């Protein structure tokens, strides 16, 4: 039996991944409405961090709005090139994102892994590029239904996380987002117990990869059909530190309710 990890207060992170939705004008309107909704309920952003991940074409508009109106939302990007600069048509470099005050960068989302053939090595290179530019990579891991049946819970997410983390410096900060591929957009989320089982396994693996202090401090998110009706049950789990929200993050009222999960969490 291993010794328990040192206690670290991990600030919950609720992250909205917009995917390929909302143009820059719609993004401005959305962020304004979301900020007003959270201001109305006196949301404490120090208590629960809130990040939005718009498409590349929206980032400058959202960044300008956040800076001009001094809004407390955090900005994230959905992807990054592993290359620093050069003849890479269609790519966006980490340095470009950092100039836009992007704090978080998704790497290895299942839609990139499966739709664009991104390997574990490529995901690790993207994580390294984001970290080197001063941003925090959000390393996405998850298994398909076939993976789950063939390898059991956690095996594929653990391998994906390890491949990415080993490409980062020893002191690097990162977030891990567990998204079972079979749950994304299906309306059928994993159970809170399933999410906790994988999150606990990921944290235990981080002890071996990065030591107890980093394992205790690293935030592990759950994603996959997260909604206001189920988020509190996930957030009750000791190793789940937030949510990566897809479709529900495109609805101001629903996303605002998800952010306010603490009002629904009971011991």
Between residues 144 and 106, which one has the greater pLDDT? 106
pLDDT of residue 91: 97
3 state SS of 107: strand
Residue 264 annotated to the active site: no
The pTM for the full model equals 0.96
How does pLDDT run across 1-51, given as a tens digit for each residue?
788 999 999 999 999 999 999 999 999 999 999 999 999 999 999 999 999
The two structure tokens encoding residue 38: 């959270």
How does pLDDT run across 178-219, given as a tens digit for each residue?
999 877 777 777 899 999 999 999 999 999 999 999 999 999
On whether the CB atoms of residues 16 and 49 are closer than 8 A, the answer is no
HSE-CB at 241 with a 13 A cutoff on CA atoms is: 24
Residue 179 annotated to the active site: yes
| Mean pLDDT lowest among 80-84, 126-130, 261-265 | 261-265
Which residue in 43, 49, 109, 118 is the catalytic one? 109
The two structure tokens encoding residue 32: 């304004």
Which residue in 49, 111, 143, 179 is the catalytic one? 179
pLDDT of residue 182: 79
């Amino acid at each position: 039996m291993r010794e328990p990890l040192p206690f670290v207060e991990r600030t919950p992170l609720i992250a909205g991944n917009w995917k390929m939705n909302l143009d820059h004008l719609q993004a401005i309107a959305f962020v304004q409405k979301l900020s007003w909704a959270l201001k109305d309920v006196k949301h404490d952003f120090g208590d629960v961090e809130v990040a939005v991940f718009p498409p590349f074409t929206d980032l400058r508009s959202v960044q300008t709005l956040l800076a001009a109106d001094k809004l407390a939302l955090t900005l994230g990007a959905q992807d990054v090139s592993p290359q620093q600069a050069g003849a890479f048509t269609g790519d966006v470099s980490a340095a470009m994102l950092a100039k836009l005050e992007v704090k978080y960068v998704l790497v290895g989302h299942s839609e990139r892994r499966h739709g664009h053939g991104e390997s574990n090595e490529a995901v690790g290179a993207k994580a390294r590029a984001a970290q080197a530019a001063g941003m925090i990579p959000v390393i996405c891991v998850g298994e398909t239904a076939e993976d789950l049946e063939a390898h059991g819970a956690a095996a594929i997410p653990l391998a994906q996380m390890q491949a990415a983390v080993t490409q980062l410096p020893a002191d690097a900060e990162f977030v891990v987002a567990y998204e079972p591929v079979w749950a994304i957009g299906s309306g059928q989320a994993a159970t809170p117990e399933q999410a906790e089982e994988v999150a606990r396994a990921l944290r235990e693996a981080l002890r071996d990869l990065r030591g107890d202090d980093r394992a205790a401090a690293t935030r592990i998110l759950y994603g996959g059909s997260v909604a206001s009706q189920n988020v509190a049950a996930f957030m009750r789990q000791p190793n789940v530190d937030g949510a990566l929200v897809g479709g529900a993050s495109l609805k101001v009222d629903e996303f605002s309710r998800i952010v306010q999960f603490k009002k629904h969490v009971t011991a």
